[in-house]
Amino acid sequence: MSLSGRLEEIGRPLVAEQLAHPTVAGIARGDLDERVFRSWLEQDYLFLLDYVRVFSRLAWQAPAAHLGDLVDLAHSTFHEELSLHRELAAEFGADLEGTVKGPVCAAYTEFLLNAAGSYGEGLAALYPCMWGYSTLGAELAADPPAEPRYRRWVETYADPGFAELTRRCAQMIDEAGPDPERAAELFRTGMRHEVSFWDAPC
């Protein structure tokens, strides 16, 4: 089994834990309290800004074969994902510019930015976000919420283009070849941050 495949096996129970979380379950039903989702959107906006910085820090260290991919990931996150995020946030009345990081968001972004100091390890640390959301999107899209705003959020992460970016990230992890035990430790920690992030609005 490839290293990325091993990481995904580690992550599956933690995806199941996210699917059972009240915030995710509310999105899936389409009846999540708007105030909770608004707060989550504000925290996720700040997270995504730092996620772009993580890709950029890794791009500085990347081998030539990976450089374009990481630049593309930073570009698509900044120009596409954040653009969709702003549109959805406006519909929920989120205050993206006035919000500040809560402790959950701050802990996660600090972890990612520190891990990005080492190329292969940084890829393993960020993979929970890409793979986790792609997997969540696919699961939720099997029975999408009727509420159009929550449905649009699900469709963003169920998009085949996002799945393709996730597969490329998996390939880069395998090609970078970080120490498997260290990669597993960082991936598991990242997945735990993913679970905790759903508590950010609470």
The reported pLDDT for the residue numbered 160 is: 94
Give the global pTM.
0.95
Say what the pLDDT of residue 118 is.
Answer: 97
Per-residue pLDDT band for 202 (boundaries 50, 70, 90) equals low
CB atoms within 10 A of CB 41: 23
pLDDT at residue 51 is higher than 60: yes
Distances in Å between the alpha carbon of 181 and those of 3, 6, 78? 10, 10, 31
pLDDT band at 170 (very low <50, low <70, confident <90, very high): very high
* Cα 41 from chain centroid (whole Å): 13
Largest interatomic CA distance in the chain: 46
User: Over the chain, what is the mean pLDDT?
Assistant: 95
pLDDT in tens, 65-124: 999 999 999 998 999 889 988 999 999 999 999 999 999 999 999 999 999 999 999 999
Query: What percent of the chain has pLDDT above 70?
Result: 99
The pLDDT-based confidence of 200 (bands split at 50, 70, 90) is confident
pLDDT confidence bin for 28, thresholds 50/70/90: very high
C-alpha distances (whole Å) from 104 to each of 109, 138, 154, 155 are: 9, 25, 22, 25
The reported pLDDT for the residue numbered 39 is 95
- pLDDT given at position 75: 92
Structure confidence by residue, pLDDT tens digits, 29-49: 999 999 999 999 999 999 999
Amino acid symbol at 34 = E
pLDDT number for residue 129: 97
Angle between helices 22-29 and 148-158 (to 10 degrees): 110
**What is the DSSP secondary structure assignment for residue 186, as one 8-state letter?**
H
